[in-house]
């Protein structure tokens, strides 16, 4: 028996005759750290980390031999990649096998912060889709906005609502991802301190909370839509038992997802309904503990009146958009608190529907403040994939890039070109804005995002 893992957990896992208890304990006692990242295909593609070992079940994802100090890497701050646990990247494989990759789907990431799964969903569904990323805790919603802003896509709405609020949009979403709050046993190797918080009572508490979240929100899923349910827990009560509860309470069918035996993922079946689940154990896969499953909604779901309102005439001058954006096709621009936001025009009606029933933290991309005569460009625009590629820009060294990210004073000798707005670029990727003056450089990197220690 393990010297530090909870005996109650080990005893439950040993009920599976195929479970390798010794290997599981040994993996945790060694405490190996696995670092994995997923690249932003709209920014970096596979230009970096090309020699790293790929994550088998996710595009543009790699394992790193050692964990660098990501704070020191300007490409991290530019949204070129996201540091994400490899097991949870299996979501990409699921989306692809469901036939939703590069689709025109409406998706909800219900418990989205800090944003790893949302950035993955955004990339896999593609720019013709609509993603609503929700987080109920306000402070975590701020982090979610920041990470999605770095990712640079404009087809995302960030909301800050209790899960029950989504029942106001019945039958709306084609895909619903619920990475449910859980007891966290799958993170024991990565975060040993979490072991002290684990108990059977907490497992029961989490299971009840998971049922409440699902019961209050499942109506928002359309008939024929898919629910992807996941946790970072090993407990059956939070995983397979939840599948049985859903299928006993509502009309859903289980969806089997094909996997490669070489990946080491264990396919399980729930006790009552024989629903398929997929377990990731750290002694079998190169990743942390994870559980995920897919259910398809069968029962008829009433929806709301989707009468499309007549598109409102934008009060944003077209020339402003043409001056700063690479393309203005399928772009709906609107003013909010003097800031110009751009959003897919194909989902303009959707934005209005959502705005009527939910609290929106951010919609699309805020490209800057409109003074009535000129645009003061935003950090969001600098990181957006919509930004015009031929705007004034200055390539800088690593040292200057780090000074910029610390919001330090910058030397005019490091910046060529005429006075005015200029992008700061590192390795060809935008970091943000400066304003060049005859004898100085004004650093416009956001104060709240600056690096405090290097």
Alpha helices (H) in 90-233, listed in sequence order: 90-97, 116-125, 138-151, 200-217
Of 58, 80, 182, 232, the catalytic one is 232
φ/ψ region of 338 (left if φ > 0, alpha if ψ in -120 to 50, else beta) reads left
Residue in 109, 96, 64, 65 with CA at minimum distance from that of residue 83: 64
Secondary structure class of 270 (helix, strand, coil): coil
Angle between helix 240-249 and helix 200-217 axes, rounded to 10 deg: 30
Positions at the binding site for S-adenosyl-L-methionine? 111-117, 135, 162, 179
Measured CA to CA, the distance from residue 345 to residue 28 in angstroms comes to 50
Measured CA to CA, the distance from residue 318 to residue 44 in angstroms comes to 29
Strand pairing partners for 291? 231, 279
Residue in 64, 80, 148, 60 with CA at minimum distance from that of residue 428: 80
Positions at the binding site? 111-117, 135, 162, 179
Measured CA to CA, the distance from residue 401 to residue 74 in angstroms comes to 7
Measured CA to CA, the distance from residue 389 to residue 394 in angstroms comes to 12
- 236 neighbors 222 (Cβ within 8 angstroms): no
Residue with tokens 């009146």: 305
Measured CA to CA, the distance from residue 354 to residue 357 in angstroms comes to 6
* Tokens (6 digits) for 391: 């705007």
Active-site residue flag, 232 = yes
Give catalytic residue positions: 232
């Amino acid at each position: 028996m393990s010297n530090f893992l909870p005996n109650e957990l080990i005893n439950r896992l040993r009920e599976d005759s195929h479970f390798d208890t010794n290997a599981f304990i040994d993996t945790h006692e060694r405490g190996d750290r696995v670092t994995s990242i997923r690249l932003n295909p709209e920014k970096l593609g596979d230009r970096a980390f090309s020699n790293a070992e790929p994550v088998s079940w996710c595009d543009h994802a790699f394992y790193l031999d050692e964990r660098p100090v990501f704070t020191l890497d300007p490409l991290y701050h530019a949204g070129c990649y996201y540091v994400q646990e490899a097991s949870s990247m299996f979501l990409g494989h699921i989306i692809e096998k469901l036939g939703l990759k590069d689709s025109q789907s409406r998706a909800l990431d219900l418990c989205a912060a800090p944003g790893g799964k949302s950035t993955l969903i955004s990339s896999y569904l593609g720019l013709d889709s609509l993603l609503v990323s929700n987080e109920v805790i306000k402070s975590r919603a701020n982090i979610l906005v920041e990470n999605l802003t770095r990712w640079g896509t404009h087809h995302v709405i960030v909301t800050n609502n209790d899960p029950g609020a989504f029942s106001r949009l019945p039958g709306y979403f084609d895909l619903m991802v619920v990475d449910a709050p859980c007891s966290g046993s799958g993170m024991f190797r990565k975060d040993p301190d979490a072991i002290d918080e684990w108990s059977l009572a907490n497992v029961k508490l989490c299971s009840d909370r998971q049922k409440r979240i699902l019961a209050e929100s499942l109506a928002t899923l359309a008939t024929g839509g898919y629910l992807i349910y996941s946790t970072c827990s090993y407990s059956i009560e939070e995983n397979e038992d939840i599948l049985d509860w859903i299928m006993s309470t509502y009309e859903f069918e289980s969806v089997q997802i094909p996997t490669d035996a070489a990946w080491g993922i264990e396919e399980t079946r729930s006790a009552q309904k024989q629903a398929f689940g997929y377990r990731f154990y750290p002694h079998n896969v190169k990743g942390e503990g994870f559980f995920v499953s897919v259910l398809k909604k069968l029962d008829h779901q009433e929806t709301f009146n989707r009468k499309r309102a007549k598109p409102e005439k934008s009060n944003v001058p077209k020339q402003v958009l043409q001056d700063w954006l690479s393309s203005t096709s399928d772009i709906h621009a609107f003013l909010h608190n003097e800031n110009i936001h751009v959003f897919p025009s194909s989902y303009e009606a959707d934005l209005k529907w959502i705005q009527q029933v939910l609290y929106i933290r951010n919609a699309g991309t805020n490209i800057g403040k409109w003074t009535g005569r000129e645009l003061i460009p935003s950090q969001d625009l600098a990181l957006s994939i919509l930004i015009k590629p031929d705007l004034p820009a200055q390539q800088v060294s690593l040292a200057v890039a780090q000074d910029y990210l610390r919001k330090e004073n910058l030397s005019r000798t490091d910046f060529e070109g005429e006075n005015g707005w200029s992008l700061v670029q590192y390795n060809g990727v935008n970091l943000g804005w400066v304003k060049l003056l005859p004898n100085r450089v004004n650093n416009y990197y956001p104060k709240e995002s600056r690096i405090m220690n290097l």
